[in-house]
């Protein structure tokens, strides 16, 4: 149990499948959890730059996304819907989802996960420079340590 003060958002670089240097993010977990549990809550704070998008992907866990500013278009399963500040999107485990900023300013969101280690299977890509011809991957983010691990290529 703890409080976490605001911190800087970093550029979205380093992921070969979701390279968005104009967008910013921050990973937040409970720093008071000395046991390093993976079953604690994790928060992703993100500002999606104008015209940027989070590619379509899935997770094996549920996710809650709350939009705090801007205008976006969210794909969720087979549907799509425009979102604004105050919209909450509940994403069941395994459901394809992605978000595009369709507004004139940053699209800000908070995504909550029931784990500090999040697997992601990419169905679409924002490839990093020099990685345009590669297949999407299944990766793992450890929010506590910042470690990024490529698990396998995704067959689509």
- For residue 30, pLDDT over 90 is answered with no
How many angstroms separate the Cα of 86 from the Cα of each of 21, 60, 70, 129? Answer: 26, 25, 10, 34
Q: Give pTM, 2 decimals.
A: 0.92
CA–CA gap between residue 7 and residue 48 (Å, rounded): 17
CA–CA gap between residue 151 and residue 106 (Å, rounded): 31
Q: What is the DSSP string of 106-141?
A: -EEEEEEESSSEEEEEESS-BPPTT-TTSPPEEEEE
Q: What is the mean pLDDT of the chain?
A: 92
Per-residue model confidence (pLDDT) at position 92: 98
Which pLDDT band holds residue 150 (cuts at 50, 70, 90)? confident
pLDDT > 90: percent of the chain? 74
Which pLDDT band holds residue 153 (cuts at 50, 70, 90)? low
Which residue ranges make up each domain of the chain?
10-153
CA–CA gap between residue 10 and residue 153 (Å, rounded): 26
Q: Which CATH superfamily is domain 10-153 in?
A: Jelly Rolls (2.60.120.10)
At 24, phi and psi to the nearest 5?
-130, 150
């Amino acid at each position: 149990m703890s409080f976490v003060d605001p911190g800087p958002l970093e550029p979205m670089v380093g992921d070969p499948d979701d390279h968005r240097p104009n967008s910013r993010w921050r990973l937040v977990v409970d720093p008071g959890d000395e046991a390093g549990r993976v079953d604690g809550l994790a928060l992703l704070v993100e500002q999606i730059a104008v015209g940027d998008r989070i590619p379509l992907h899935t997770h094996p866990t549920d996710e809650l996304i709350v939009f705090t500013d801007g205008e976006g278009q969210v794909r969720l399963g087979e549907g799509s819907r425009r979102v604004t500040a105050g919209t909450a999107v509940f994403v069941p485990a395994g459901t394809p989802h992605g978000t595009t900023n369709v507004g004139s300013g940053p699209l800000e969101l908070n995504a909550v996960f029931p784990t500090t280690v999040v697997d992601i299977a990419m169905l679409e890509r924002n490839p990093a420079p020099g990685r345009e011809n590669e297949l999407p991957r299944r990766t793992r983010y450890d929010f506590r340590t910042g470690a990024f691990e490529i698990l396998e290529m995704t067959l689509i």
